[in-house]
Amino acid sequence: MGEKGIGARVARKEDQRFLTGNGHYTDDLQRNRQTYAFFLRSPHAHAKIRKIDAAAAKSAPGVLAVFTGADIAEAKVGSLICGWVVKDKNGEPHKAPPHPALALDTVRHVGDPVAMVIAETAAQAKDAAETIAVDYEELPSVVNPAKALAKSAPQLHAEAPGNLCYDWELGDKAAVDAAFAKAAHVAKVDLVNNRLIPNAMEPRAAAAEYDAGTGQYTLWTTSQNPHVTRLVLSAFVLGIPEHKLRVIAPDVGGGFGSKIFIYSEETLLTWASAKVGRPIKWTAERNESFVSDAHGRDHVTHAELALDKDGKFLALKVDTIANMGAYLSTFATAVPTYLYGTLLAGQYTTPAIHVNVKSVFTNTAPVDAYRGAGRPEATFVLERIVEQAARDLKIDKAELRRRNFIATDAYPYQTPVALTYDSGNYAGAMSKALELADYAGFEKRRAESKAKGKLRGIGLSAYIEACGLAPSAVVGSLGAGVGQWESAQVRFNPTGNVQVYTGSHSHGQGHETTFAQVVSNHLGVPIEQIEVIHGDTASVPFGMGTYGSRSLAVGGSAIVKACDKIVAKGKKIAAHMLEASAADIEFKDGTFTVAGTDKSVPLAGVVFSAYVPHNYPLNELEPGMDENAFYDPANFTYPAGVHVCEVEVDPDTGVASIAKFTAVDDFGNIINPMIVEGQVHGGIGQGIGQALLEHGVYDEKSGQLLSGSYMDYTMPRADDLPSFDVGYQITPCPHNPLGVKGCGEAGAIAAPAAVMNAIHDALAPVGVQSIDMPATPARVWQAIQQANTKMAAE
């Protein structure tokens, strides 16, 4: 490990431009003769569109065009797609109702786009939109997933009777039933996994331009995966050939999943740029983001865990209703199935597991992957029920987990829910976490809090995630419409510096630094001479993008493969230069050496020779030093760990504050500990946000989004969070060259269960049995009052 190689806390290269205001975001774009789009959106949760009168808007000052659903249908703009086919219990594919980019005859959620106005200025577009008269016939709506399946529930799509998208299951139900029949104890929980609204710092934005001379479209968009955007728009929605569509995702200010998807706005901008013949730009206002970004989570679950008399887990059964929202977003179907049900073994040897998921349509914004995507929901179910069982059986919660952990020598470990874990040391992480958290000293701290009139609780969350998405053959067999490899190109310039192209987009994760460290480590090139380039389909090889904590495990591995090719070619060139056999050439720290001699040539010399091949084996070797690689992982990676949360509740106000938060994570090898800590901190912040603060709330009667601004949607702030104690258990991933597992989502996956377990532990002494997320002060206070009333009655 050098000062800037693998394992070094290298300051992020990209922060210089971000922190000095020199980033280039989509909204910064100023194209010649640029126009602006504004989207008129439905104010209703559910309504028929009787008529749209846009005549006044079309002749309003500055307006170039107004398009409605009818125009889009006439132009044969395709439906937005969901790219993952989930098969239900009977093998039937999920119900896939059309998702028009502009509503045709029905609006199905508040914010559903109804018309697009394009004008010389953003204000003119907005002014004109206000003159569009839409004659709506309001229909009854349903927003609560648990109510969407009722016979009397309003129906959203003719294609999905009963609002059911699919009724999916995984696992051996007969084995589970048999295990429950002989169980000594059954723990039960009813859980709501609250709806979250992503709120990336940069709202979604897009700009599109059509070159009539070449027939080339260019789309700038806030995307986590520009190639996937291009593929979907080309092959499924707009029919523009891929080679005639360039997609650029410039600097992007956070995604958290919400910028994976292909939305109406960038689709329509691209299409309309040719119609209007001028560049068009759109940037979401924050209130648009609230109603139109894909939301996260929103599950209702009943789960039961069967245990024997010693606390060994015998079987788990889980029934979940998952909210899809009004339409299927790009990967919506996969989130509550293959990213959820498959994780329900957790870190435990539970031999039989059955999960049933009914996904439903409701009159709400579409729900899709959000930091963790399915895995936070799985961890929440499992870790809440494990602590419920510990409380029921009066077994220490750490001890109960230890009794059920998969042993460190059991890998590869086949779970009953499809995954094969590759490596781990769960007991090791647990020991470290308990020590760091001073678990042993907790009761003393609880007593101290009690003396001050406060209720203190401690909770654990032993999570696992499947990251490094994904082995293409596996996800293909499960219904994914794409492969999930990653690409890399390592291109030396004649002067010895390097451009590294990656298909894995960076929008806050620090790839430009981490990936440079990987290349520096493998090739011995100083980090300052390495430029990591991503986000432009015109320059970067086709790549699958950034999600599922995959960038380093998959994209980083592709870079290593490309570096290996550079070294292999370099050895041949060096052999020629040093008049030796290639087999005798060793490469270390940027220098090729003839083994056992002092004859050597630096990589820069080899590169120069490759580009100026005056003395070069041209009959055997091509000139140039520019290598491509694609890497398709052999398995998922399985980051895991234990998070410990300690809360202190003020029973007078219901305020639960985080007194202490400890995270011990196993991410395999770590390239840049500072970036990893940042990812862990951010993830925990979002996890605490889910547990205590954030809640996307739709009004059950009107279907209006009640938490549609920061006045009502509680984003976590610095003073809501403690300083985190972070530690590591390092078990390298055995099947990728860096031995890395991924760290981007762990905090958001682990933290909600840890926090909620701590709150249940704190409130158990006053008789509170169950409280849902977010555990807001009002809810905590209410739960205490109800417990008091119940105790008084008893």
Query: Exactly one of 48, 211, 710, 765 binds other proteins (CB under 8 A); which one?
Result: 710
Q: Considering only the stretches 123-131, 134-142, 426-434, 555-563, report the one whose residues sit in contact with other proteins under the rule CB under 8 A.
A: 123-131
Closest contact distance (angstroms) between CB of 689 and other proteins is 11
Out of 695, 735, 741, 760, point to the residue binding other proteins (CB under 8 A). 695
Q: Tell the smallest beta-carbon distance from residue 287 to other proteins (Å).
A: 8
Are the C-beta atoms of residues 296 and 302 closer than 8 Å to each other?
no
Q: Are 408 and 423 in contact (CB under 8 A)?
A: no
Applying CB under 8 A, the span of 33-41, 268-276, 393-401, 691-699 interacting with other proteins comes to: 691-699
β partners of residue 626: 491
Q: Which two tokens stand for residue 348?
A: 């435990």
Instruction: Pick between residue 61 and residue 93 the one whose CB is nearest to other proteins.
Output: 61
Please tell me whether residue 788 binds other proteins under the rule CB under 8 A: no
CB of 285 to other proteins, least distance (A): 9
Residues in the chain: 794
Q: Does 652 bind other proteins (CB under 8 A)?
A: yes
Binding region for other proteins (CB under 8 A) out of 569-577, 666-674, 745-753, 771-779: 771-779
Between residues 616 and 781, which has the closer beta carbon with respect to other proteins?
781
C-alpha to C-alpha distances, 142 to 287, 701, 773, nearest whole angstrom: 22, 8, 21
Question: Quick one: which of 597, 653, 770, 789 contacts other proteins (CB under 8 A)?
Answer: 653
201 is a site residue for other proteins (CB under 8 A): no
574: left (phi over 0), alpha (psi -120 to 50) or beta: alpha
Q: How far is the CB of 477 from other proteins (least distance, A)?
A: 43
Region of residue 790 (phi > 0: left; psi between -120 and 50: alpha; otherwise: beta): alpha
Q: Does 131 bind other proteins (CB under 8 A)?
A: no
Comparing CB distances to other proteins, the nearer of 483 and 651 is 651
Site of tokens 């015998």: 314
Beta carbon nearer to other proteins, 464 or 693: 693
Q: Applying CB under 8 A, does 782 fall inside the site for other proteins? A: yes
Q: Which two tokens stand for residue 635?
A: 């398995």
Q: Residue 308, interface with other proteins (CB under 8 A)?
A: no
**432 or 695: whose CB is closer to other proteins?**
695
Q: How does 263-282 read in b/e, with b if 16+ C-beta sit within 10 Å? A: bbbbbbbbbbbbbbebbbbb
CB of residue 758 vs other proteins: minimum separation in angstroms? 18
Closest CA to 694 of 709, 679, 716, 676: 716
Contact indicator for 590, 527 with CB cutoff of 8 Å: no
Nearer to other proteins, 533 or 706 (CB): 706
Q: At 421, give phi and psi (nearest 5°).
A: -70, 140
| The pair of three-digit structure tokens given for residue 565, joined into one six-digit string | 């090719």
- 700 sits near other proteins (criterion: CB under 8 A): no
Closest CB 119 distance from other proteins, rounded Å? 15
Is 376 a binder of other proteins (CB under 8 A)? no
Q: Does 789 bind other proteins (CB under 8 A)?
A: no
**In the bound complex, what is the minimum distance in angstroms from residue 780's beta carbon to other proteins?**
10
Residue 87 DSSP label: B
Spatial distance between the Cα atoms of 425 and 488, rounded to a whole number of angstroms: 31
User: Which segment (35-43, 200-208, 225-233, 712-720) binds other proteins by CB under 8 A?
Assistant: 712-720
* Cα gap 25→259, rounded to integer Å: 14
Interface region with other proteins, contact rule CB under 8 A, candidates 212-220, 477-485, 493-501, 650-658: 650-658
Q: In the set 408, 778, 790, 791, which binds other proteins (CB under 8 A)? A: 778
Report the C-alpha gap between 194 and 295 in whole angstroms.
10
Q: Looking at beta carbons only, is 126 or 681 nearer to other proteins?
A: 126
Strand duo 486-492 + 626-631: pairing: antiparallel
Question: Using the rule CB under 8 A, is 126 a contact of other proteins?
Answer: yes
Residues in contact with other proteins, shown as a per-residue x/- string from 389 to 408 under the rule CB under 8 A = --------------------
CB of 776 to other proteins, least distance (A): 6
Closest by Cα among 70, 29, 37, 36 to 53: 70
Site for other proteins in 251-290 (CB under 8 A): 287
Question: Which of helix, strand or coil describes residue 7?
Answer: coil
Structure tokens at 450: 């009690």
Q: Which is nearer to other proteins, 174 or 710 (CB)?
A: 710
Q: Give the binding range for other proteins (CB under 8 A) out of 344-352, 502-510, 573-581, 651-659.
A: 651-659
Residues binding other proteins: number (CB under 8 A): 23
Give the nearer residue to other proteins in terms of CB position, either 126 or 173.
126
Nearer to other proteins, 11 or 123 (CB): 123
638 counts as binding other proteins under rule CB under 8 A? no
- 777 near other proteins, rule: CB under 8 A: yes
CA dist., res. 61 & res. 64, Å (int): 9
For residue 756, state whether it binds other proteins (rule: CB under 8 A).
no
CA distance 361 to 141: 11
Residue 61, judged by CB atoms within 10 A of its CB (0-12, 13-18, 19+), counts as exposed
| CB neighbour class for 175 (10 Å; exposed up to 12, middle 13-18, buried from 19) | middle
Q: Which stretch binds other proteins (CB under 8 A): 37-45, 442-450, 609-617, 652-660?
A: 652-660
Q: Does 781 bind other proteins (CB under 8 A)?
A: yes
Shortest CB 781 distance to other proteins, Å? 6
Which window, 107-115, 445-453, 639-647, 648-656, contacts other proteins (CB under 8 A)?
Answer: 648-656
Apex CA 449: angle with CA 448 and CA 454, to 5°? 155
Write the single-letter amino acid at 682.
G
Burial environment of residue 129 by CB neighbours within 10 A (0 to 12, 13 to 18, 19 or more): buried
Strands of the sheet containing 498-502, edge to edge, are 530-533, 498-502, 486-492, 626-631
* Of the candidates 125, 758, 49, the residue with the CA atom closest to the CA atom of residue 455: 758
Considering the complex, what minimum distance in angstroms separates the CB of residue 194 from other proteins?
A: 12
Asked whether the beta carbons of 585 and 595 are under 8 A apart, the reply is: yes
Exactly one of 226, 654, 685, 739 binds other proteins (CB under 8 A); that residue is 654
CA dist 101 and 78 (Å) reads: 8
Minimum distance from residue 709 beta carbon to other proteins (Å):
9
Least separation, in Å, of the C-beta of 365 and other proteins?
A: 17
Residue pair 717/696 in contact (Cβ under 8 Å)? The answer is no
Q: Which token pair is 178? A: 């048999």
Does 693 bind other proteins (CB under 8 A)? Our answer is: yes
789: left (phi over 0), alpha (psi -120 to 50) or beta: alpha
Binding segment (CB under 8 A) for other proteins, from list 569-577, 600-608, 611-619, 772-780: 772-780
- Quote the tokens at residue 36: 């602006």
Per-residue contact string for residues 67-106; x = within reach of other proteins by CB under 8 A = ----------------------------------------
- The interface mask with other proteins, positions 23-42, x = CB under 8 A, is --------------------
What's the min distance (Å) between Cβ of 150 and other proteins? 23
- Note whether 701 binds other proteins by CB under 8 A: no
Burial 453-473 (b: 16+ CB within 10 A, else e): ebbbbbbbbbbbbbbbbbbbe
Site residues, other proteins (CB under 8 A): 123, 126, 130, 287, 652-654, 693, 695, 697, 706-707, 710-715, 776-778, 781-782
